[in-house]
Amino acid sequence: MSKPVLHFWFEFASTYSYLSAMRVEDMATAAGVEVAWHPFWLGPIFKAQGWDTSPFNLYPLKGAYMWRDMARICAARGLPLRQPDPFPQNAILAARTALLALQHPQGPAFCRAVYAAEFGQGRRIDSQELIQELLAETGLPAQLAEEASGDAAKQALRDSVAEAMRLGIFGAPSFIADGDLFWGDDRLEMALARLSA
Amino acid sequence: MSKPVLHFWFEFASTYSYLSAMRVEDMATAAGVEVAWHPFWLGPIFKAQGWDTSPFNLYPLKGAYMWRDMARICAARGLPLRQPDPFPQNAILAARTALLALQHPQGPAFCRAVYAAEFGQGRRIDSQELIQELLAETGLPAQLAEEASGDAAKQALRDSVAEAMRLGIFGAPSFIADGDLFWGDDRLEMALARLSA
Protein backbone atom coordinates (compact mmCIF):
# COMPACT_ATOMS: atom_id res chain seq x y z
CA MET A 1 0.00 0.00 0.00
CA SER A 2 1.36 3.43 -0.87
CA LYS A 3 1.99 5.94 1.88
CA PRO A 4 -0.32 8.91 2.42
CA VAL A 5 1.07 12.18 1.03
CA LEU A 6 1.47 15.49 2.83
CA HIS A 7 1.52 18.39 0.36
CA PHE A 8 3.94 21.02 1.64
CA TRP A 9 3.50 24.45 0.05
CA PHE A 10 6.35 26.81 0.79
CA GLU A 11 7.75 30.20 -0.27
CA PHE A 12 11.48 30.79 -0.07
CA ALA A 13 11.05 34.33 1.28
CA SER A 14 8.99 33.06 4.23
CA THR A 15 10.60 32.66 7.64
CA TYR A 16 8.08 30.16 8.98
CA SER A 17 8.52 28.08 5.80
CA TYR A 18 12.19 27.78 6.83
CA LEU A 19 11.08 26.19 10.09
CA SER A 20 8.92 23.63 8.29
CA ALA A 21 11.40 22.87 5.51
CA MET A 22 13.99 21.89 8.10
CA ARG A 23 11.76 19.39 9.91
CA VAL A 24 9.01 18.22 7.56
CA GLU A 25 10.85 15.18 6.11
CA ASP A 26 11.93 13.81 9.49
CA MET A 27 8.50 14.26 11.00
CA ALA A 28 6.72 12.79 7.98
CA THR A 29 9.02 9.78 7.97
CA ALA A 30 8.27 9.18 11.64
CA ALA A 31 4.54 9.35 10.85
CA GLY A 32 4.78 7.03 7.85
CA VAL A 33 3.90 9.83 5.45
CA GLU A 34 5.49 11.02 2.19
CA VAL A 35 6.10 14.70 1.46
CA ALA A 36 5.32 16.39 -1.86
CA TRP A 37 7.30 19.64 -2.01
CA HIS A 38 5.50 22.56 -3.71
CA PRO A 39 7.50 25.78 -4.04
CA PHE A 40 5.32 28.76 -4.92
CA TRP A 41 5.41 32.53 -4.85
CA LEU A 42 3.31 34.68 -2.52
CA GLY A 43 3.71 37.92 -4.54
CA PRO A 44 0.50 37.61 -6.61
CA ILE A 45 -1.42 36.18 -3.65
CA PHE A 46 -0.43 39.05 -1.35
CA LYS A 47 -1.19 41.52 -4.17
CA ALA A 48 -4.72 40.11 -4.39
CA GLN A 49 -5.05 40.94 -0.66
CA GLY A 50 -3.86 44.50 -1.33
CA TRP A 51 -0.33 44.01 0.01
CA ASP A 52 2.78 45.05 -1.91
CA THR A 53 5.31 43.46 0.47
CA SER A 54 5.43 41.08 3.42
CA PRO A 55 2.74 41.72 6.04
CA PHE A 56 5.64 41.64 8.51
CA ASN A 57 6.90 44.83 6.90
CA LEU A 58 3.43 46.39 6.49
CA TYR A 59 2.66 45.82 10.19
CA PRO A 60 5.85 46.65 12.09
CA LEU A 61 4.67 45.39 15.49
CA LYS A 62 3.82 42.04 13.92
CA GLY A 63 7.15 42.03 12.12
CA ALA A 64 9.14 42.71 15.29
CA TYR A 65 7.20 39.98 17.04
CA MET A 66 7.80 37.50 14.19
CA TRP A 67 11.60 37.88 14.50
CA ARG A 68 11.36 37.42 18.30
CA ASP A 69 9.14 34.35 17.84
CA MET A 70 11.50 32.94 15.20
CA ALA A 71 14.50 33.48 17.46
CA ARG A 72 12.86 31.57 20.31
CA ILE A 73 11.75 28.68 18.10
CA CYS A 74 15.08 28.43 16.27
CA ALA A 75 16.91 28.39 19.62
CA ALA A 76 14.63 25.62 20.89
CA ARG A 77 15.21 23.57 17.71
CA GLY A 78 18.94 24.23 17.42
CA LEU A 79 18.53 26.10 14.12
CA PRO A 80 20.68 29.12 13.27
CA LEU A 81 18.83 32.35 12.45
CA ARG A 82 20.12 35.42 10.63
CA GLN A 83 17.89 38.02 9.04
CA PRO A 84 18.72 38.49 5.33
CA ASP A 85 18.94 42.00 3.92
CA PRO A 86 16.60 42.97 2.35
CA PHE A 87 13.70 41.15 3.91
CA PRO A 88 11.78 39.66 2.23
CA GLN A 89 14.27 38.31 -0.30
CA ASN A 90 13.36 38.11 -3.98
CA ALA A 91 12.78 34.37 -4.12
CA ILE A 92 11.64 33.90 -7.70
CA LEU A 93 14.89 32.45 -9.07
CA ALA A 94 15.12 30.07 -6.13
CA ALA A 95 11.51 28.94 -6.61
CA ARG A 96 11.93 28.35 -10.35
CA THR A 97 15.15 26.42 -9.77
CA ALA A 98 13.52 24.37 -7.02
CA LEU A 99 10.71 23.33 -9.37
CA LEU A 100 13.42 21.89 -11.65
CA ALA A 101 15.47 20.47 -8.80
CA LEU A 102 12.43 18.64 -7.42
CA GLN A 103 12.40 16.47 -10.53
CA HIS A 104 15.56 14.93 -9.01
CA PRO A 105 15.90 13.01 -5.72
CA GLN A 106 18.09 15.81 -4.35
CA GLY A 107 15.26 18.35 -4.70
CA PRO A 108 14.35 18.57 -1.00
CA ALA A 109 18.05 18.86 -0.06
CA PHE A 110 18.38 21.78 -2.49
CA CYS A 111 15.36 23.51 -0.92
CA ARG A 112 16.83 23.08 2.56
CA ALA A 113 20.16 24.45 1.29
CA VAL A 114 18.42 27.60 0.02
CA TYR A 115 16.79 28.13 3.41
CA ALA A 116 20.03 27.44 5.28
CA ALA A 117 21.84 30.07 3.18
CA GLU A 118 19.04 32.61 3.50
CA PHE A 119 17.94 32.34 7.13
CA GLY A 120 20.79 30.35 8.66
CA GLN A 121 23.52 32.55 7.19
CA GLY A 122 21.57 35.68 6.18
CA ARG A 123 22.73 35.49 2.55
CA ARG A 124 20.90 36.89 -0.49
CA ILE A 125 19.26 34.15 -2.57
CA ASP A 126 18.59 36.14 -5.74
CA SER A 127 21.88 35.55 -7.56
CA GLN A 128 22.80 32.90 -10.15
CA GLU A 129 26.09 32.44 -8.27
CA LEU A 130 24.48 31.46 -5.00
CA ILE A 131 21.97 29.18 -6.70
CA GLN A 132 24.76 27.45 -8.65
CA GLU A 133 26.77 27.02 -5.45
CA LEU A 134 23.80 25.35 -3.76
CA LEU A 135 23.10 23.12 -6.77
CA ALA A 136 26.71 21.94 -6.65
CA GLU A 137 26.51 21.45 -2.88
CA THR A 138 23.50 19.16 -3.30
CA GLY A 139 24.86 17.27 -6.32
CA LEU A 140 22.55 18.80 -8.91
CA PRO A 141 23.51 19.98 -12.43
CA ALA A 142 24.65 23.61 -12.55
CA GLN A 143 22.64 24.26 -15.72
CA LEU A 144 19.41 24.14 -13.72
CA ALA A 145 20.21 27.71 -12.65
CA GLU A 146 20.10 28.83 -16.27
CA GLU A 147 17.12 26.68 -17.19
CA ALA A 148 15.32 28.41 -14.35
CA SER A 149 15.21 31.58 -16.45
CA GLY A 150 13.66 29.76 -19.42
CA ASP A 151 10.02 29.86 -20.46
CA ALA A 152 9.22 26.37 -19.17
CA ALA A 153 10.44 27.17 -15.65
CA LYS A 154 8.61 30.51 -15.67
CA GLN A 155 5.42 28.75 -16.68
CA ALA A 156 5.95 26.08 -14.02
CA LEU A 157 6.05 28.74 -11.29
CA ARG A 158 2.97 30.48 -12.70
CA ASP A 159 1.17 27.12 -12.66
CA SER A 160 2.25 26.52 -9.09
CA VAL A 161 0.89 29.90 -7.97
CA ALA A 162 -2.39 29.26 -9.82
CA GLU A 163 -2.71 25.87 -8.13
CA ALA A 164 -1.99 27.41 -4.70
CA MET A 165 -4.74 29.99 -5.31
CA ARG A 166 -7.14 27.25 -6.45
CA LEU A 167 -6.45 25.45 -3.16
CA GLY A 168 -7.31 28.58 -1.13
CA ILE A 169 -3.73 29.06 0.04
CA PHE A 170 -3.11 32.58 1.35
CA GLY A 171 0.19 32.26 3.22
CA ALA A 172 3.19 30.03 3.79
CA PRO A 173 3.92 27.44 4.84
CA SER A 174 0.67 25.66 4.06
CA PHE A 175 -0.07 21.95 4.17
CA ILE A 176 -2.76 20.01 2.35
CA ALA A 177 -3.59 16.74 4.08
CA ASP A 178 -6.50 14.65 2.86
CA GLY A 179 -7.82 17.69 0.97
CA ASP A 180 -7.83 19.90 4.07
CA LEU A 181 -5.76 23.09 4.39
CA PHE A 182 -3.45 23.72 7.36
CA TRP A 183 -1.57 27.02 7.61
CA GLY A 184 1.62 27.66 9.51
CA ASP A 185 4.56 25.69 10.84
CA ASP A 186 2.61 25.29 14.08
CA ARG A 187 -0.05 23.26 12.25
CA LEU A 188 2.39 20.66 10.83
CA GLU A 189 1.66 18.21 13.64
CA MET A 190 -2.10 18.48 13.06
CA ALA A 191 -1.68 17.97 9.31
CA LEU A 192 0.41 14.85 9.87
CA ALA A 193 -2.02 13.52 12.47
CA ARG A 194 -4.78 13.79 9.88
CA LEU A 195 -2.84 11.49 7.56
CA SER A 196 -1.63 8.95 10.10
CA ALA A 197 -5.02 8.68 11.87
CA MET B 1 7.72 31.73 47.54
CA SER B 2 5.03 33.23 45.31
CA LYS B 3 4.20 31.56 42.03
CA PRO B 4 5.31 33.05 38.72
CA VAL B 5 2.53 34.92 36.90
CA LEU B 6 1.36 34.48 33.32
CA HIS B 7 -0.31 37.63 32.01
CA PHE B 8 -3.17 36.62 29.73
CA TRP B 9 -4.41 39.40 27.44
CA PHE B 10 -7.68 38.59 25.74
CA GLU B 11 -10.42 40.22 23.68
CA PHE B 12 -13.97 38.90 23.94
CA ALA B 13 -14.57 39.20 20.19
CA SER B 14 -11.57 36.98 19.41
CA THR B 15 -12.09 33.33 18.51
CA TYR B 16 -8.59 32.22 19.45
CA SER B 17 -8.95 34.00 22.81
CA TYR B 18 -11.91 31.65 23.43
CA LEU B 19 -9.57 28.68 23.01
CA SER B 20 -7.10 30.07 25.53
CA ALA B 21 -9.69 31.25 28.05
CA MET B 22 -11.07 27.72 28.27
CA ARG B 23 -7.72 26.09 29.06
CA VAL B 24 -5.35 28.66 30.53
CA GLU B 25 -6.21 28.11 34.21
CA ASP B 26 -5.92 24.31 34.05
CA MET B 27 -2.64 24.47 32.16
CA ALA B 28 -1.20 27.15 34.42
CA THR B 29 -2.15 25.19 37.54
CA ALA B 30 -0.42 22.11 36.15
CA ALA B 31 2.69 24.23 35.51
CA GLY B 32 2.67 25.84 38.96
CA VAL B 33 1.88 29.24 37.49
CA GLU B 34 -0.75 31.87 38.37
CA VAL B 35 -2.83 33.63 35.70
CA ALA B 36 -3.51 37.37 35.64
CA TRP B 37 -6.52 37.98 33.38
CA HIS B 38 -6.37 41.17 31.29
CA PRO B 39 -9.43 41.90 29.16
CA PHE B 40 -8.77 44.54 26.53
CA TRP B 41 -10.23 45.86 23.29
CA LEU B 42 -8.60 45.44 19.89
CA GLY B 43 -10.60 48.20 18.16
CA PRO B 44 -8.09 51.05 18.66
CA ILE B 45 -5.14 48.69 18.04
CA PHE B 46 -6.58 47.44 14.74
CA LYS B 47 -7.44 51.03 13.79
CA ALA B 48 -3.79 52.00 14.28
CA GLN B 49 -2.94 49.26 11.75
CA GLY B 50 -5.48 50.69 9.29
CA TRP B 51 -8.19 48.06 9.91
CA ASP B 52 -11.81 48.95 10.65
CA THR B 53 -12.94 45.40 11.45
CA SER B 54 -11.49 41.96 12.14
CA PRO B 55 -8.71 40.96 9.74
CA PHE B 56 -10.72 37.74 9.32
CA ASN B 57 -13.41 39.83 7.63
CA LEU B 58 -10.97 42.02 5.70
CA TYR B 59 -9.20 38.95 4.27
CA PRO B 60 -11.95 36.46 3.40
CA LEU B 61 -9.62 33.53 2.63
CA LYS B 62 -7.99 33.94 6.02
CA GLY B 63 -11.41 34.24 7.64
CA ALA B 64 -12.73 31.06 6.02
CA TYR B 65 -9.56 29.28 7.09
CA MET B 66 -9.85 30.57 10.67
CA TRP B 67 -13.32 29.05 11.09
CA ARG B 68 -12.08 25.73 9.65
CA ASP B 69 -9.05 25.81 11.96
CA MET B 70 -11.25 26.66 14.95
CA ALA B 71 -13.66 23.82 14.12
CA ARG B 72 -10.80 21.30 14.04
CA ILE B 73 -9.25 22.54 17.29
CA CYS B 74 -12.57 22.77 19.13
CA ALA B 75 -13.44 19.22 18.01
CA ALA B 76 -10.08 17.96 19.26
CA ARG B 77 -10.57 19.70 22.62
CA GLY B 78 -14.24 18.81 23.05
CA LEU B 79 -15.32 22.47 22.91
CA PRO B 80 -18.56 23.53 21.23
CA LEU B 81 -18.28 26.10 18.43
CA ARG B 82 -20.99 28.30 16.96
CA GLN B 83 -20.30 31.45 14.96
CA PRO B 84 -22.08 34.47 16.50
CA ASP B 85 -23.89 36.89 14.21
CA PRO B 86 -22.51 39.44 13.59
CA PHE B 87 -18.86 38.50 13.76
CA PRO B 88 -16.97 40.10 15.36
CA GLN B 89 -19.28 40.85 18.27
CA ASN B 90 -19.24 44.24 19.95
CA ALA B 91 -17.37 43.19 23.08
CA ILE B 92 -17.00 46.50 24.89
CA LEU B 93 -19.72 45.94 27.52
CA ALA B 94 -18.35 42.45 28.22
CA ALA B 95 -14.81 43.78 28.58
CA ARG B 96 -15.80 46.61 30.94
CA THR B 97 -17.87 44.20 33.04
CA ALA B 98 -15.02 41.71 33.12
CA LEU B 99 -12.65 44.36 34.49
CA LEU B 100 -15.09 44.80 37.39
CA ALA B 101 -15.76 41.06 37.74
CA LEU B 102 -12.03 40.33 37.96
CA GLN B 103 -11.93 42.21 41.26
CA HIS B 104 -13.84 39.18 42.61
CA PRO B 105 -12.68 35.54 42.79
CA GLN B 106 -15.37 34.59 40.24
CA GLY B 107 -13.85 36.87 37.57
CA PRO B 108 -12.26 34.13 35.46
CA ALA B 109 -15.48 32.08 35.60
CA PHE B 110 -17.41 35.11 34.34
CA CYS B 111 -14.97 35.50 31.44
CA ARG B 112 -15.35 31.84 30.51
CA ALA B 113 -19.14 32.20 30.71
CA VAL B 114 -19.01 35.09 28.21
CA TYR B 115 -16.96 33.00 25.78
CA ALA B 116 -19.20 29.95 26.25
CA ALA B 117 -22.28 32.04 25.41
CA GLU B 118 -20.62 33.75 22.45
CA PHE B 119 -18.70 30.97 20.73
CA GLY B 120 -20.17 27.86 22.36
CA GLN B 121 -23.80 28.92 21.79
CA GLY B 122 -23.41 31.66 19.15
CA ARG B 123 -25.23 34.27 21.28
CA ARG B 124 -24.79 38.03 21.10
CA ILE B 125 -22.78 39.40 24.03
CA ASP B 126 -23.64 43.10 23.65
CA SER B 127 -26.81 43.23 25.78
CA GLN B 128 -27.25 44.12 29.46
CA GLU B 129 -29.62 41.13 29.74
CA LEU B 130 -27.04 38.57 28.65
CA ILE B 131 -24.33 40.10 30.83
CA GLN B 132 -26.65 40.10 33.85
CA GLU B 133 -27.56 36.48 33.18
CA LEU B 134 -23.89 35.50 33.14
CA LEU B 135 -23.14 37.51 36.29
CA ALA B 136 -25.94 35.63 38.07
CA GLU B 137 -24.70 32.33 36.69
CA THR B 138 -21.24 32.93 38.13
CA GLY B 139 -22.46 34.32 41.48
CA LEU B 140 -21.53 37.95 40.85
CA PRO B 141 -23.64 41.02 41.73
CA ALA B 142 -26.04 42.05 38.93
CA GLN B 143 -25.20 45.73 39.41
CA LEU B 144 -21.77 45.18 37.83
CA ALA B 145 -23.57 45.28 34.46
CA GLU B 146 -24.72 48.84 35.19
CA GLU B 147 -21.45 49.91 36.78
CA ALA B 148 -19.82 48.78 33.53
CA SER B 149 -21.35 51.81 31.79
CA GLY B 150 -19.97 54.23 34.37
CA ASP B 151 -16.98 56.49 33.96
CA ALA B 152 -14.68 54.39 36.13
CA ALA B 153 -15.26 51.25 34.08
CA LYS B 154 -14.84 53.16 30.82
CA GLN B 155 -11.55 54.55 32.06
CA ALA B 156 -10.43 51.10 33.22
CA LEU B 157 -10.88 49.71 29.69
CA ARG B 158 -9.08 52.70 28.17
CA ASP B 159 -6.22 52.09 30.61
CA SER B 160 -6.13 48.41 29.69
CA VAL B 161 -5.90 49.22 25.96
CA ALA B 162 -3.14 51.76 26.62
CA GLU B 163 -1.20 49.19 28.64
CA ALA B 164 -1.63 46.58 25.89
CA MET B 165 -0.24 49.05 23.35
CA ARG B 166 2.65 49.89 25.66
CA LEU B 167 3.46 46.17 25.82
CA GLY B 168 3.54 45.93 22.01
CA ILE B 169 0.41 43.77 21.86
CA PHE B 170 -1.16 43.72 18.38
CA GLY B 171 -3.57 40.78 18.53
CA ALA B 172 -5.31 38.39 20.86
CA PRO B 173 -4.79 36.26 22.75
CA SER B 174 -1.38 37.47 23.89
CA PHE B 175 0.67 36.28 26.83
CA ILE B 176 3.39 38.10 28.72
CA ALA B 177 5.74 35.73 30.50
CA ASP B 178 8.83 37.05 32.20
CA GLY B 179 8.49 40.28 30.17
CA ASP B 180 8.41 38.47 26.84
CA LEU B 181 5.43 38.60 24.45
CA PHE B 182 3.81 35.46 23.05
CA TRP B 183 0.95 35.77 20.55
CA GLY B 184 -1.73 33.21 19.85
CA ASP B 185 -3.35 30.26 21.59
CA ASP B 186 -0.69 28.06 19.96
CA ARG B 187 2.02 29.85 21.96
CA LEU B 188 0.46 29.22 25.38
CA GLU B 189 2.67 26.17 25.98
CA MET B 190 5.84 28.16 25.17
CA ALA B 191 4.78 31.02 27.45
CA LEU B 192 4.16 28.62 30.33
CA ALA B 193 7.44 26.81 29.69
CA ARG B 194 9.23 30.13 30.06
CA LEU B 195 7.81 30.55 33.55
CA SER B 196 8.23 27.00 34.81
CA ALA B 197 11.79 26.63 33.44
Q: A62–B171: do the CB atoms touch at under 8 Å?
A: yes
Helix (H, G, I), strand (E, B) or coil at A84: coil
> How does A140-177 read in b/e, with b if 16+ C-beta sit within 10 Å?
beeebbeebeeeebeebbeebbeebeebebbbbbbbbb
Nearest by CB to residue A65, choosing from B59, B64, B183, is B183
pLDDT band at A47 (very low <50, low <70, confident <90, very high): confident
Which among B65, B170, B182 has the least Cβ separation from residue A61?
B170
Measured CB to CB, residues of chain A less than 8 Å from chain B are 49, 59, 61-62, 64-65, 68-69, 72, 168, 170-171, 180-184, 186-187, 190
SS3 state of residue B80: coil
Helix (H) or strand (E) holding A97: helix A92-101
Residues 6+ apart with CB under 8 A from A77: A19, A22, A23
Q: What is the pLDDT of residues B6-49, one digit of tens each?
A: 999 999 999 999 999 999 999 999 999 999 999 999 988 888 88
- Per-position DSSP letters for A131-160, written without gaps between them: HHHHHHHTT--TTHHHHTTSHHHHHHHHHH
Are the beta carbons of A171 and B59 separated by less than 8 Å?
Answer: no
Q: Kind and range of the H or E element at B8?
A: strand B5-10
With CB atoms and an 8 Å threshold, state whether A69 touches B171.
Answer: no
Q: Find out whether A5 and A35 touch, Cβ atoms under 8 Å.
A: yes
Q: Are residues A65 and B190, on separate chains, in Cβ contact within 8 Å?
A: no
Going from the C-alpha of A59 to that of each of A45, B48, B123, B161, B168, the distances in angstroms are: 17, 10, 32, 18, 12
Residue of A nearest to B59 (CA): A49
Q: Which of A62, A72, A183 sits opposite B65 (nearest CB)?
A: A183
The complex's ipTM?
0.92
**Rounded Cα–Cα distance for residues B28 and A53 (Å):** 38
Whether the per-residue pLDDT at A60 is higher than 90: the answer is no
Average pLDDT rounded to a whole number, residues A39-52:
88
Residues of B in Cβ contact (< 8 Å) with A61: 49, 168, 170
For A62, name the nearest residue in chain B, comparing CA atoms only: B170
DSSP state of B141: -
pLDDT of residue B56: 84
Chain A residues with CB inside 8 Å of B69's CB?
Answer: 182-183, 187
Domains of chain B: 5-196 (3.40.30.10)
Instruction: Work out the minimum CA distance from B61 to partner chain A, whole angstroms.
Output: 7
pLDDT tens, position by position, A153-183: 999 999 999 999 999 999 999 999 999 999 9
Name residues of chain B where pLDDT drops below 50. Answer: none
Task: List chain A residues with CB under 8 Å of B61.
Answer: 49, 168, 170
pLDDT of residue A197 exceeding 90, the answer is: no
Contacts of A181 in chain B (CB under 8 A): 65, 68
**Average pLDDT in the A35-63 region?**
88
User: Looking at residue B150, what DSSP letter applies?
Assistant: S
pLDDT band (50, 70, 90) for residue A59: confident
